[in-house]
Structure formats: structure tokens, C-alpha cells
Amino acid sequence: MEQEGTEPHVLIFPFPAQGHVNSMLKLAELLSLSRLRITFLNIHRIHHKLTLHADIQSRFSRFPNFQFQTITDGLPPENRPIGKFSDLIHSLKSVTKPLLKQMLISGQLGPTPTCIILDGLFNFIVDVDAEPKIPIFSFRTISACSFWAYSFVPKLIEDGQLPIKGEEDMDRIIDGVAGMENVLRRRDLPSFCRLEDPFDPTLQYGVTQTIQSFKAHALIFNTFEDLEGPILSCLRRRCSNIYAIGPLHAHLKSRLSGEDSPPASESSNCLWEVDRSCLAWLDAQPSKSVIYVSFGSVVVLRESQFREFWHGLVNSGKRFLWVVRPNLVAGKDGENGVLEELEEGTKERGCMVSWAPQEEVLAHDAIGGFLTHSGWNSTLESIVAGVPMICWPQFADQQTNSRYASEVWRIGLDMKDVCDRETVAKMVNDVMENRRNELMGSAIETAKSAISSVEVGGSSYSDLERMISDIQLLCQ
Ligand code: UDP
């Protein structure tokens, strides 16, 4: 055992949201498998939810050098709604940031970390130039392509391509973004670019955090070279130290399969209680006959949109498995009233659950397509499972991800900015039947390259090894 002080100690701090905690926990597990000392710092209320529903404690107890620590986000007590994003950011800046500094100085988190793997959505939480000076590895939970698009927003504002000048401007191609020539239209830029005021704090927040990420010691992406190689090359011209180590869930699975005594259960990092009954329902369905529908952990539908999706799914004539989170439909009545009424008509060919074991669902033989909001974790999970997508992006990076899925990777159809039952039914039939061979062909090829990237000698495998040895070098 190395002596305390010379042993690398990595502090990992995710932004308090499902997709962020999920992927950063996977990274924590990967680094623990490489015997690094890890402190995983979580916001209290996230940690509380996580330990309620997931097998987290038992999974991590097998690593003697791993510890969870928690910190407040400064908002009112546990389980109250977070409220506005700006309130959370304000509170993280005014309460969490000074507290973190104090915890680092006092040794409350253990020996001074060799480096901090910090969620790139809140780079501000550590002052890189203040004492104690600790190298920051900025971890981006979004795709490299959407990160790259964010970094160009100041230039797009400067040369008049933003703000968007109304609906007629939406389909115009964006100029001057290296590596994205003829790919992005205005409607494919991260959603905040649609704001009328280009200096709106939400857009500026995304841009500032992106630009700050370039100032970090290193940048980490949950992506892989074969998928986003051209964009990663562009990024390397702005930041020489980039590690592309994804898809993290596949990476972890691959390394766990080589472990002497892997944990008994699949890694589940869910903040909600998982309803596994849908797996038995899937077992009873024919191969590739079911479309899986999930809009992730944050997207909220209007009641009218919920109805259009439901009618579209039913009219498509295909079987479907739909994740309807308790807060998926806006408004209290929407949630219960609509569900009860529609659930009745669903029984024939559909199954609804409040939260699914998504990775297992996507890997199930009965699944033939995924109607998704194009969150980055969901996109990667679909890619690894070789499941073609119908993309219905709502906010942030999702608009860019869906464009890449349809136009660049050719593994999905983009249903952006449309929500009517005819389109839903048509797209479901296209993915499940009419264009199935074409989409399935590229989805299977992309899955193969994702999986080989995390196997020994693959690009993500090698980048993770390089990152670990770079961290070890930092304490010599
Ligand atoms: N997820 C899940 N069960 C569900 C719905 C989603 O486990 O019923 C997981 C999914 O596997 C993914 C995460 O929640 O890892 C959602 O992350 P993503 O980045 O796709 O979207 P977000 O929730 O951040 O919008």
C-alpha cells in the first residue's frame, strides 16, 4: 500500500441531477477498479434518494479506498422541489462553494485530493487559482458535438447568426463552426440558443461553463473516438488534454466482466424506484416487436402532447413500453386523470411503468426501437444496445444530439419540434418496419464500434489507462 500523501486521491463531484450522478458514479466505479482512492461528493438530497433506491452502498463497499461524502446545496430541506435552476446555481455559489473550500482545507474529505473530477456544468464551484490549488479535470456529461456547438455561441452572436430571427430562420445552416460544416441548422443548436435575448442568463451560463471547461487541466468526455472523432480532433486544438472514455456504462460492464468477484447485481444508479415488472412483460413479446418510450428524468410533457404520443403509439399498431414518471405530465390533474383514462386503452399492446431498468430494457431482444428525448446517457445506452431511435429532443444538448443521430450517425429519425399523432405513428412504423433494415444496419455497426472502443486496446480503454497514469504522475 502506498503511503498517505503519495497515494493518488481523486475527488469526484457531480451536478445534482440523474444523468450527471449516473455517469459520474460509473466513472467512480471504473477508477475504483483501478484501485485509486476515490471520494464521491454528493449533494445531501441526491445522496439520500440514491441510497433509498439503489444498491449503491453494497456495490461500493467492496472498495476499501472508496468513500461517499455529502454537502448541502443550500436549498430548503430534503425532498422539497428544487425550484428554479437559477436559484440552485445561486445557492451552490453562495453556500456550497465556500463550504467545499473549507472541507478541502480542513481535511474533512481526507488527504488533499490529487485532482478533482468536477462536473463541467458547475466549474465555478472551485476557484482554480485559489488555495488549495488542485488540478481540475472537467467532466462533460454531454456529447462532444453539443459541447463544441456551445463553444461557438459567442462567435455566432458576433457574426449575426444568433439570435434566431423567427421560424423561417430555423432551417438555415450554421456557418463557420469547424467540423460541423453543412450539419447543423439553427434548430439543431442547443435549445437555449432559441432564446430571443442572446445574453439571457441561461444561455450565457451554458456558454460560460463551456469556456471555463477549456481552462481546466483536462477535459473528460463520455463518448468514443469512432462516434465523435472529427469533433474530438477539433476540440484537441483548443485543449490538448482530452480523454474520451465512453460509453461509460459499457466500459464499466466490460471491466467488471474481468473482475474476480463482480457485484451480484447490475449497476443501478437510479434516483427512482425501478419497476422491473416490465422485463417479464417484454419476455412475452416477439423479437424486435416493441418500441420503448422514455423521456428521461427531467422532461415534462403538456397534457396535449402526452395524448398525441399515446394516440400515435396506439395508432401505429405496434407494441410499446412507456416510462411514465409520476411528474412526466405537467399539472396535477394531467398526471392522474390522463393516465387512468389512457392506461385502460393501453392494455392490449402497451405497458406503462413509472421507472424502468433502462439499460436492461434496451438490451432486451423484444425491443426494436427507442422513442427518446435524446438525453446523452439515453443516446449512448441506445447506441450500445444497437437500437434505432426516434428522437424528440426538448432542451439543452438534446437538439444537437438528435441531429447527429439522424444526419451523421444515421441511427435514428429526428422528430424535433413536431408532436402530432400522425407523425408519431408514421415514425414508429418507419423505425420498426419501413426503414428498419437501413437503420438497424447502421445501429448494429455503431454498437460494435462502441463495444470495441471499451475493450482492451480500444480507444476509450486506452484513454482511461492514460488518464489513470496521468493522475498517478500528478502525485510524484
Ligand atoms: N433511466 C432509467 N429508467 C427510466 C428512464 C431513464 O434508468 O425509466 C435512466 C437512463 O438509463 C439514463 C438516465 O436515466 O441513464 C437519463 O439520462 P439522460 O442523459 O438520457 O437524460 P436526462 O434524464 O438527464 O434528461
Q: What is the pLDDT of residues 429-469, one digit of tens each?
A: 999 999 999 999 999 999 999 999 999 999 999 999 999 99
Regarding the beta carbon of 18 and ligand 1, being less than 6 Å apart is answered: yes
119 classed as catalytic: yes
Which pLDDT tens digit goes with each residue over 223-240? Answer: 999 999 999 999 999 998
Helix (H, G, I), strand (E, B) or coil at 472: helix
CA of 342 relative to ligand 1 center, distance in Å: 24
316 phi, psi to nearest 5 deg:
-65, -20
Q: Residue 20 catalytic?
A: yes
Q: State the pLDDT at residue 2.
A: 41
Name the active-site residue from 20, 251, 364, 373: 20
**Beta carbon of 363 within 6 Å of any ligand 1 atom:** no
Instruction: Tell me the CA–centroid distance for residue 375 and ligand 1, in Å.
Output: 7
**471 alpha carbon – ligand 1 mean position (Å):** 30
pLDDT reported for residue 459: 98
The residue whose CA is least distant from atom 11 of ligand 1 is 358
Q: Tell me, what's the pLDDT at 261?
A: 61
At residue 154, the 3 state secondary structure works out as helix
> What is the arrangement of strands in the sheet containing 115-119, beginning at the earlier edge strand?
66-71, 37-43, 9-13, 115-119, 136-140, 218-221, 242-244
Determine the Cα–Cα distance for residues 306 and 323; give it in Å rounded to an integer. 12
- d(CA 176, ligand 1 centre) in Å: 33
With a 6 A CB cut-off, is 377 part of the ligand 1 pocket? yes
User: How far is Cα 240 from Cα 235, in angstroms, rounded to an integer?
Assistant: 8
Q: How far is the CA of 457 from the centre of ligand 1 (A)?
A: 29
> Ligand 1: which atom is nearest the Cα of residue 356?
8
Query: Counting atoms of ligand 1 from 1, which one is nearest the CA of 379?
Result: 20
pLDDT given for residue 143 in this prediction: 97
Compute, in angstroms, the gap from residue 320 CA to the centroid of ligand 1.
Answer: 18
- Which whole-number Å values give the CA distances from 402 to 51, 193, 303, 410, in the listed order? 32, 16, 23, 10
Host H or E run for residue 155: helix 153-158
Residue 248 burial class via C-beta count within 10 angstroms: exposed 0-12, middle 13-18, buried 19 and up: buried
* Complex prediction ipTM: 0.99
Show the low-confidence residues of the chain (pLDDT under 70).
1-5, 53-54, 77-83, 260-268, 332-345, 347
For position 53, what pLDDT does the model report?
67
Q: Is the CB of 355 under 6 A from ligand 1?
A: yes
Ligand 1 pocket test, pick from 142, 249, 279, 294 with the greatest ligand atom count within 8 Å of Cβ, gives: 294
Structure confidence at residue 34 (pLDDT) = 94
Per-residue pLDDT, 3: 42
Residue 294 in contact with ligand 1 by CB distance below 6 A: yes
Locate the ligand 1 atom nearest the alpha carbon of residue 141 and give its number. 19
State the pLDDT at residue 441: 97
